[in-house]
Amino acid sequence: MDLLSDMVFNATFASKEIEKEKSVIVEEFKSRNDQPEVLLYDLWDSNNFNNSMGHSPIGDEVTINESSRKSLLNYYKKHYRPDNMIVTITGNTDKISKELIMKYFGKYKNEGTYTKVPFSQINPNATGKTVHKDIEQIHFYLSYPGLRALGMGKETIEVVDYILGEGMSSRLFQTVREEKGYCYSIYTQNINMEESGSYAVGCSCSPEHTHDAIKTILKEVKEVGLGKVSKKELTKAKEKFLTKTQL
């Protein structure tokens, strides 16, 4: 804890290291843009949210190159503070106490007034975004409103996800990939945040299969939404959810 608290609160931000790391992060940014599924997720976020929630966590080449030691320190002092921090410990915690945590993390003081960035709701007027790349497949998301992390029904949508899109036995995998042969990759994203949530089906397929793939996905989503789920499917999904929860 001594080492971790020292790293968190006493980082030096050496100018030479910052400049070197900026070059590394620019390369990471370019790498993300070369990965369709990663780029797709960033586009999904920017389409769903109208504030900083919609920004890529890595930024872009302009913001990376324009960042300075001063701007990083200002951000660091504003956000890396005890009243905006959660200390998480896993493993054998027999010798860990609140007093021990406070010894290393409680001695640092908050500077100034901290204003929390508000979480926005999903943009109800989102119409979709398209980026053209010279690649073989079309990658797309079909997005739906989801549930917030601490709201009612979060467990229900996780069970639904096991039925619809989680794993090789899910409806979407079995129908769109195994039965129809429209794609290789199909998956779901169930995102639960503090004030809002979203659910999406992601898929990548050849252009000639895109229309039929979307049509099949929409059909399966509608059927599950209408409750057309067998007792066997529901029981299996509940068992998977409980197993995951216990682990």
Instruction: Give residue-wise pLDDT tens across range 166-192.
Output: 889 899 999 999 999 999 999 998 888
pLDDT of residue 161: 92
Q: Which of 199, 174, 203 is nearest to 187 (CA)?
A: 203
* Residue 152 predicted with pLDDT over 80: no
Whole-angstrom Cα distance, residue 58 to residue 64?
8
* Residue 159 predicted with pLDDT over 70: yes
Of 161 and 111, the one with more pLDDT: 161
Place 119 in a pLDDT band, splitting at 50, 70 and 90: low
pLDDT of residue 118: 66
The whole model's pTM is what? 0.79
* Residue 245 predicted with pLDDT over 90: no
Place 80 in a pLDDT band, splitting at 50, 70 and 90: confident
Tokens for 28, please give them.
Answer: 């990471």
